Each structure stands twice: as C-alpha cells, then as structure tokens.
A and B are shown apart, each in its own frame.
Chain A
C-alpha cells in the first residue's frame, strides 16, 4: 500500500525557536496534502490544505504566519511552526491524496512537538 513518511516523529524545542516537519509520499504523487493537529484524547482538527505549487489554504482560526506550509513538489510538503510557544505543543499529522484517487487519503505517522 501507499506510504506517507513523516519526520521527525518527536521533537522537543525551546520556546521561540522554529521547527520544521516533513511529509513525504514515497510511492505516489500527491497534488494535495493536509495538515492536522491533535490534542491529547481529542480528534484531528484540520489546519490547512497544501496544494503543490500554490499557497496553502488555512482553516479558520489557524494563523498562517505561525504555521508556514510549503508544498514545493508532488511528493513533499513541510509544516514549519515558527517562534514556537508551549501552547503549540501538540501532535501534528499529515495526510496525502494521490492525484488520481480523491477518496484515498494516506496518513503519516505523526509528529509529537513539545515546546519547553
């Protein structure tokens, strides 16, 4: 089956620093990738939709200057949490959609971000 690789799986950083999370589709081209945030014991909340070669579309309430998304190729999207603060600590998950199967979404394994 299709594989989506997400790195790092866990990161601890100091408050004020920036952290980059990568999401790669390993065996298919993904025109669209999605970034979610999940708080402990809660559901996944969509943060933004990342489209290759264009600007990301952010959900209401998500700060685009805080969460920078870049989808520079058909296999890679990155989420950068800028000037991270403790309240940004969360589990971040990406998913990727093959260009030819809109109902198919493949998820990365997630990144646990802890901001000290």
Chain B
C-alpha cells in the first residue's frame, strides 16, 4: 500500500515571500500521478498541480511549481510570491496508474501573513 507523508503540520510565511511544502511518499510502483490539493476555509478541494511520474520535467502552474525527485520519492510544492488567498490546508496525494484511488497525506496548514 502506498503512503504519503507531510512532515510539516503548519507553516506560515509573509505575503510575497516564497514557501516550500514537503511531501514524501512510498510506493513500489513505477507509474503514478502525484497531486497537490488546496482546501481553503470553504473546504472545497481545489487541484493546485499534477505531476506524472514518467515525466522528468517538473510541473508548473503560474506561481506554483514542484520539485519532483522520483528516486528519493519526494514531491515538494513551491509557492512563489505568496498571496493572502493562498492561506489554506494543502494536501499531497498519490494515485497509481492501475488504481484510481487517491491516497492523501495528512496535510499542511499554510498561513500567509499580511
């Protein structure tokens, strides 16, 4: 079974600064997807970014980018120029190619300080 670990329960950063959220996972599979989801106070799950394991290039979406290290089984999220609206819970998640289920990490509560 896959496991996803987020070792930072809470983080805070000043507005406009850069912050990196950590995620490690454990799997014996070679083909899979990794995700970062954002859950703001509304509790709506919002997809931030997705990475296919077979792609070496790190995914980017505007201010959000990942550092995907497949050998190390690490998948960190970098948020640049952080904004107040980035305040939320962030969940790292794993999905194998052969299984449609998402396995979530325990989450990191990120607070952007004005």
- Is A103 within 8 A of B33, CB to CB? yes
* A93 interface residue (CB < 8 Å to B): yes
Number of chain B residues whose Cβ lies closer than 8 Å to a Cβ of chain A: 20
* B42 interface residue (CB < 8 Å to A): yes
Which residue of B33, B42, B105 contacts A109 across the interface (Cβ within 8 Å)? B42
- Is B44 within 8 A of A43, CB to CB? no
- How far is A97 from B102 in the complex, measured between Cα atoms in Å? 11
The DSSP consensus for interface residues of chain A is strand
- Beyond A43-B107, A103-B33, A103-B50, is A110–B44 a contact (Cβ under 8 Å)? yes
- Is A49 within 8 A of B91, CB to CB? no
Residues in B with CB closer than 8 Å to A45 are 104
- Is A43 within 8 A of B101, CB to CB? no
Interface residues of B (CB under 8 A from A): 33, 42-45, 47, 50, 52, 91, 95, 97, 100-107, 109
Interface residues of A (CB under 8 A from B): 32, 34, 38, 41-46, 49, 91, 93, 95, 97, 102-103, 105, 107, 109-110
